[in-house]
């Protein structure tokens, strides 16, 4: 589809805004009877601005990868940006590393790491108590000092947000993607032992062996540092070769995201993605200051996903309400096309990503509208978009912004 769209592109001065509330989709609350009973997080939230806007928008649901497939954040965002995640598979490690500003080369394997708590060879907390970013930055600097190299492979560390950090394994020679074909050690749930690193290709055997030594060295250095006494690794990946958003869709794009992984993905497809730190209101203010310099604006809001993963229904509701309160500031800029959605669903009742379709609204002058009475999963199912692949949203945004010519005579 990218090749078809490329031939239809036309320039104009229109603006497209993509607001991603990470992990937006939810499921009905299953706790004690009360205000939340039987409602999803979106239904439980007081969102007068989102509800009002949905009535004048094209609403629906989108599937990030496919029916029944639970997406990671990388594939979820790729689809929203108009890149088929089944064609462009990018490892989490490369996204985290690039997002943290590390210079990834053809000789590198990038890994995303979590500080974690290990007790009797069982992971009791995958996020090590969600420590402060400042505290863990110092720990990461210590690891860089203590582990500069293993068996001729250099290790380059990048401290991230809270419990996260990235590592680049820099080999002496250029690598092919097969060198990164190593499974994650993260079991994705507490109460399980870390998974052994197993190469999935002969070219990945050295990577797996050295990474295993790395984990052991980290454990030795952090010994006694409860609750941060271990590291889980995942997302082994090499640098991909992808067309930029400008090449594929003719868009000069700005990404405004406080979490490194999302900046990393944006940079891989040619977006400007500054090392932004600030509140959601400050993200909008930053977009306002740069409004004349770009065609496409990606704004990322993380905490809806974080509280979903924690199983904290009430706090996820509050974060949805926070975005709702800031929505008039975005509308005041009058973008020709505004998409509000999530990259995947993270129902608090499941404490993790899920395969469920994600609510979406497209606000633009040339939509039918008038079919929904609010912005929620059940209401969006009544909308004109139906249930569509995530990768279709970019084409719809371009069309509504007047950036696509007619196909054929």
Task: Sort strands 386-389 and 122-125 into parallel, antiparallel or unpaired.
Answer: unpaired
Are the beta carbons of 136 and 171 closer than 8 angstroms?
no
Confidence of residue 265 (pLDDT cuts 50, 70, 90): confident
Instruction: Estimate the share of the chain in helix, then strand, then coil, as percent rounded to the nearest 5.
Output: 35, 20, 45
Give me the residue label for tokens 């696509």: 404
Look at residue 320 in the predicted model and tell me its pLDDT.
98
Q: What is the mean pLDDT of residues 201-228?
A: 94
Whether the pLDDT of residue 37 is over 90: the answer is no
The answer to whether residues 74 and 104 belong to one domain is no
In a domain, 408, yes or no: no
Residue 407 resides in a domain: no
The last residue of a domain, from among 191, 214, 237: 237
Mean predicted confidence (pLDDT) in 67-89? 93
Same domain, 217 and 315: no
Given a cut of 90, whether residue 331 has pLDDT beyond it is yes
If asked whether residues 59 and 107 sit together in one domain, one would say no
What CATH number corresponds to the domain at position 380?
3.40.720.10
C-alpha 8/C-alpha 401 separation (Å) is 13
Percentage of residues in the chain with pLDDT exceeding 70? 100
Residue 257 and residue 224 share a domain:
no
pLDDT of amino acid 335? 98
Judge whether 376 lies within some domain: yes
**Average confidence score pLDDT of the chain:** 94
Residue where a domain stops, chosen among 204, 237, 270: 237
Nearest to 67, CA basis, from 341, 357, 394, 350: 357
pTM: predicted TM-score of the whole model, two decimal places: 0.79
Q: Which of 29-33, 60-64, 392-396 has the lowest mean pLDDT?
A: 29-33
How far, in Å, are 4, 5, 7, 186, 400 from residue 407 at the CA level? 9, 9, 9, 47, 15
pLDDT at 309 over 80: yes
249 and 375 within one domain: yes
* pLDDT score recorded for residue 103: 85
Structure confidence at residue 101 as a pLDDT band (50, 70, 90): confident
Same structural domain, 227 and 288 = no
Q: Residue 247's domain spans which residues?
A: 2-89+243-400
Residue 150 pairs in a beta bridge with 153
Same domain flag for 107 and 228: yes
pLDDT at 344: 97
Among candidate residues 237, 260, 285, the one where a domain is terminated: 237
Question: Cα(47)–Cα(68) distance, rounded to whole angstroms?
Answer: 29
**By three-state DSSP, how is residue 116 classified?**
strand
Q: Side by side, which strands form the sheet with 337-341?
A: 253-256, 296-301, 16-21, 337-341, 358-363, 58-63, 386-389
pLDDT at 398 over 90: yes
pLDDT at 159: 92
């Amino acid at each position: 589809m990218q090749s078809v769209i490329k031939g239809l592109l036309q320039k104009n001065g229109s603006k497209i805004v993509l607001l991603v509330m990470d992990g937006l989709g939810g499921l009905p609350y299953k706790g004690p009877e009360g205000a939340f009973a039987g409602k999803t997080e979106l239904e439980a939230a007081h969102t007068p601005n989102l509800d009002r806007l949905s009535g004048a928008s094209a609403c629906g649901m989108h599937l990030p990868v496919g029916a029944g497939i639970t997406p990671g954040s990388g594939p979820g965002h790729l689809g929203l940006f108009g890149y088929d995640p089944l064609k462009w598979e990018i490892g989490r490690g490369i996204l985290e590393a690039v997002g943290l500003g590390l210079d990834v080369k053809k000789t590198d394997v990038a890994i995303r790491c979590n500080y974690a708590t290990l007790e009797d060879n069982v992971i009791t907390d995958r996020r090590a108590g969600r420590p402060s970013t400042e505290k863990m930055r110092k720990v990461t600097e210590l690891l860089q000092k203590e582990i500069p190299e293993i068996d001729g492979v250099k290790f380059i560390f990048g401290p991230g947000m809270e419990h996260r950090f990235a590592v680049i394994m820099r080999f002496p020679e250029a690598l092919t993607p097969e060198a990164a074909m190593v499974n994650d050690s993260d079991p994705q749930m507490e109460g399980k032992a870390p998974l052994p690193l197993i190469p999935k290709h002969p070219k990945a055997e050295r990577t797996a062996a050295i990474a295993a030594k790395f984990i052991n060295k980290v454990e030795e250095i952090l010994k006694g540092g409860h609750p941060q006494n271990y590291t889980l690794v995942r997302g082994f990946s090499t640098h991909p070769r992808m067309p930029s958003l400008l090449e594929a869709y003719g868009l000069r794009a700005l990404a405004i995201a406080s979490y490194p992984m999302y900046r990393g993905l944006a940079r891989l497809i040619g977006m400007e993605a500054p090392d932004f730190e600030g509140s959601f209101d400050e993200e909008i203010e930053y977009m306002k200051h740069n409004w004349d310099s770009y065609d496409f604006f990606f704004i990322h809001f993380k905490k809806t996903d974080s509280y979903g993963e924690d199983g904290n229904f009430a706090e996820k509701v509050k974060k949805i309400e926070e975005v709702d309160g800031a929505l008039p500031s975005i509308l005041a800029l009058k973008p020709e096309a505004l998409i509000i959605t999530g990259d995947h669903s993270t129902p608090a009742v499941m404490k993790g990503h899920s395969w469920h379709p994600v609510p979406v609204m497209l606000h633009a002058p040339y939509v039918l509208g008038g079919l929904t009475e609010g912005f929620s999963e059940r209401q969006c199912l009544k909308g004109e978009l139906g249930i569509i692949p995530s990768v279709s949203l970019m084409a719809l945004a371009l069309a509504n912004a007047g950036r696509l010519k007619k196909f054929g005579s």
